[in-house]
Structure 1
Amino acid sequence: MTLSLDWLPAMAFTYIILFARIGAMIMLLPALGEQMIPMRLRLSFALAFTLVLFPLLSDLMPAMPAALDGMIGILGHELAIGLMIGAIIRLTVMATQLAGAVVAFQTGLSGAMTADPTMSGMQSAVFASFLSFLGVTLIFATDLHHVALAAIYDSYMVFSPTDPLMIEDAMQMAIRTLAAAFTVGVQMAAPFVVFGLVFNLGAGILARLMPQLQVYFVLMPANIIVGLLLFAVLLTMMMGWYLTAFENHLAMWRG
């Protein structure tokens, strides 16, 4: 009795092209692909998740080409799709960065900088780092990472491995996603914009009425205290708005 292993190359090729898209998306998705998570852990999770999806998606994969250039072409196609989708979804986290920067500016704490774990350790305002980290925590706490994993599976229904790359559509989607993230960030920080306008207007009027008073040094502590209290009161609303926008964006990729 002889055991044939002719099916192994085709199975290995299917697994590799599945991993190309899934791994690229997991490395870029919010929460799942954060730099604070060790690279080996992310790689192991991507390999395991590819193994889970293998029996579900293997029938949708193209047959293994006979030539090496055909294999490289399919691999590059899947890798490009994964990078495009992951990068576009990653743009949604810019809402917390924008909202945190606006809050820090309006409360007079824009000079307080700290390392942001969601931006590879780059320096950002304290409020921006806090909101970004809180957003990642709430994504896991509300099980939205399950929606992200489901979006990876559903991406094969929207972007077939045999269809040509839709680069122009991806660019338009990136622009719309960036605009939506900017809108959500401004909406999250809208109360602080109003607070800053009212506070600075009142400070300007007071400075005109009492030129001898150092208005800036007198009102700056009040500006910080009121800003922190307003931030504590509105934090639940701000993060709820962000999570809703993030869920809606993932639902769009699920078709």
Structure 2
Amino acid sequence: MTIDLLPDEVAAFLLILARVGALVMLLPALGEENVSPRFRLTIAVLFAFVFWPFARPLYAVDADDPARLIGLAVSEIAVGLALGLVGRFIMSALSVAGNVIANQLGLGFVQTLDPTQGQQGAIMGAFLTLVGVALIFATDLHHLFITAVAESYEAFRPGAFPEAGDAAKLATGAVGDAFRIGVQLSAPFLVFGLIFNLGLGVLSRLMPQLQVFFIAAPLSLIAGFALLALVIGVLMSVFLEGVGDTLRLLTGR
């Protein structure tokens, strides 16, 4: 390699970094606001070095053509953002489930900071999200995100901008999966809320003088937390299965 090739190699590395960096920016756990930007940049640079050996031959780079380099950079960022948004949408399933569960238990008014959403959310949603992120790393599902980047070089060759129709189909599919998984996770609590409220209605008709609200609030919390302790393992298993299926669809495996 001569010094004349250095600008082209640097430009190719930056293009790889653009695709990987866009993904890391949105990757669950790594792409949160409370994670140091230097740490995220370090992870992205390390990933770019990992992908360099097989990704570099796919780039036809000419450092003397800035217009083409800008076009390549935009397409690479678009691919990375598309993959990262899928992961972010899937994680929102836990927020959906957490909000439904909190409303069923009477905790919908209790708000706390959700580190994965960067805003206030139901405390149950924040709890489930943190558990989900920990389990994703514990079960090595985050490796599928990295595999998705590697496989994206087959689906989206450098210089090929993602088609709007395909991107929209991917986004709508990810959002639909997130709501489907969220409803599945909260299904036991929807059934619990229906039965519990029907029971309270019958009780209030049988004993009109009874202050049902003062009995319902503590009973709802106690029974709800007991149900959560019983089914949380199953809920997280369903979530991890849904995440794995979505990511395997991206990787074509």
Q: TM-score, normalised by structure 2?
A: 0.96
Equivalent position SS for 1:152:
helix
Contact in 1 for aligned 2:148/2:251 (Cα 8 Å)? yes
For residue 183 of structure 2, the aligned residue among 166, 171, 186 is: 186
1-side partners of 2:75 and 2:168: how far apart?
16
Equivalent position SS for 1:123:
strand
Contact in 2 for aligned 1:36/1:118 (Cα 8 Å)? no
Alignment correspondent of 1:108: 106
Alignment correspondent of 2:41: 43
Question: Unaligned stretches of 5+ in structure 2?
Answer: none
Runs (4 or more) in structure 1 with deviation over 3 Å come to: none
2-side partners of 1:58 and 1:194: how far apart?
54
Alignment correspondent of 1:28: 26
Deviations 1:72-96 (A, max 9, x none): 1111111111112211221001110
Deviations 1:47-85 (A, max 9, x none): 111012111211112232642111111111111111122
Offset, 1:163: 2.3
Contact in 1 for aligned 2:71/2:159 (Cα 8 Å)? no
Q: TM-score, normalised by structure 1?
A: 0.95
2-side partners of 1:238 and 1:169: how far apart?
31
Contact in 1 for aligned 2:20/2:48 (Cα 8 Å)? yes
Matched, 1:64 2:65: no
Q: Give runs of aligned pairs for residues 210-249 of structure 1, distance below 5 A.
A: 210-249=207-246
Question: Unaligned stretches of 5+ in structure 1?
Answer: none
Contact in 2 for aligned 1:31/1:139 (Cα 8 Å)? no
2-side partners of 1:213 and 1:61: how far apart?
75
2-side partners of 1:182 and 1:41: how far apart?
31
Offset, 1:224: 0.6
Q: What's the Cα RMSD here?
A: 1.3
**Which residue identity does 1:118 align to in structure 2?**
T
Deviations 1:14-55 (A, max 9, x none): 101101111001111223323332111011110111012111
Contact in 1 for aligned 2:99/2:124 (Cα 8 Å)? yes
2-side partners of 1:254 and 1:64: how far apart?
30
Deviations 1:183-229 (A, max 9, x none): 00000010000000000011011111111111111121111100000
**Which residue identity does 1:210 align to in structure 2?**
M
Alignment correspondent of 1:159: 156
Contact in 2 for aligned 1:26/1:86 (Cα 8 Å)? yes
For residue 146 of structure 2, the aligned residue among 146, 149, 152 is: 149
State which drifts further: 40-49 or 59-68.
Answer: 59-68
State which drifts further: 158-167 or 234-243.
Answer: 158-167
2-side partners of 1:18 and 1:170: how far apart?
20
Alignment correspondent of 1:254: 251
1-side partners of 2:56 and 2:65: how far apart?
20
**Which residue identity does 1:199 align to in structure 2?**
F
Deviations 1:99-119 (A, max 9, x none): 111111111111111111111
1-side partners of 2:106 and 2:170: how far apart?
35
1-side partners of 2:141 and 2:242: how far apart?
12
2-side partners of 1:94 and 1:194: how far apart?
22
Contact in 2 for aligned 1:31/1:145 (Cα 8 Å)? no
Equivalent position SS for 1:188:
helix
